[in-house]
Amino acid sequence: MNTLQDKVILVTGASRGIGASIAHNLAAAGAKVIVNYAGSKEAADQTVNEILGKGGEAIAIQADVSNSAAVKTLFDQAIAHYGRVDVLVNNAGIMITKLLKDTTDEDFAKQFDVNVKGTFNTMREAATRLADKGSIINFSTSVNRIMLPGYSTYVATKAAVEQLSRVFSKEVGDRGINVNSISPGPTNTELFTNGKPKEVIDRLASLSAFNRIGEPEDIARVVAFLASDEAKWITAQNIGANGGMA
């Protein structure tokens, strides 16, 4: 069902994992998708080519979202190609899991630069350049709702994203733009599973009501709904997509 027909949707960090699944799902629903990537050109091009091969519409644009000038250029290029941007999906993010005592200044800065500053940069650009009656979907995490050792800095960045989203919703609501965040639980992506032994994955899976971790498609479906006109009365909310883990 083409619930997003002709909407122009910018997805950051969309070359792989959840971001790529989101891009595929949005394109299948009729959207024109901008696949943003930081460094994985080959993966971004593959995502675009797969969408085109299924009859969808997509382009890839490189930009480091932590760089404000690069974000401005990202919007410039997207609008030059499609004429506007209707929906912004802030999926780009990094996760470094270390006990707080072992977290370096570089670890701290890197996560805040991408997860918080990256979201701030794109929302600041969207404040004046996103189309009226558009939508913004930011990414938080369900780990904010539990206390997992090793995730302190990561959850701090995502708590900041939730609050940025809530306040920003009141700043752009007069243009009909709704702003929400989504909090995935453990999801079967390379970012999450890399370096984790099977017993750890199984333990995390047991926390959900369905005894499994999420799949990228589980998250992509929620994003597609929030990007649709059916979700326009929902704003300033954080949506847990975690199988009941928290």
Distance CA 219, CA 71 (A): 24
Sequence-separated (6 or more) residues with CB below 8 Å from residue 192: 95, 186, 213
Q: Is 151 a catalytic residue?
A: no
Give the orientation angle of helix 216-227 with respect to helix 17-28, to 10 degrees.
50
Q: Which two tokens stand for residue 196?
A: 């984790």
- Contact in structure between 136 and 90 (CB atoms under 8 Å): yes
How far apart are the two ends of the chain, measured CA to CA in Å?
Answer: 31
Indicate the burial class of 233 (C-beta count within 10 angstroms; 0-12, 13-18, 19 or more). exposed
> Which one of 37, 82, 151, 154 is the catalytic residue?
154
Distance CA(185)–CA(218), nearest Å, equals 10
Environment class of residue 110 by beta-carbon count within 10 Å: exposed (0-12), middle (13-18) or buried (19+)? middle
CA atoms of 156 and 164, how far apart (whole Å): 12
Active site residues: 154
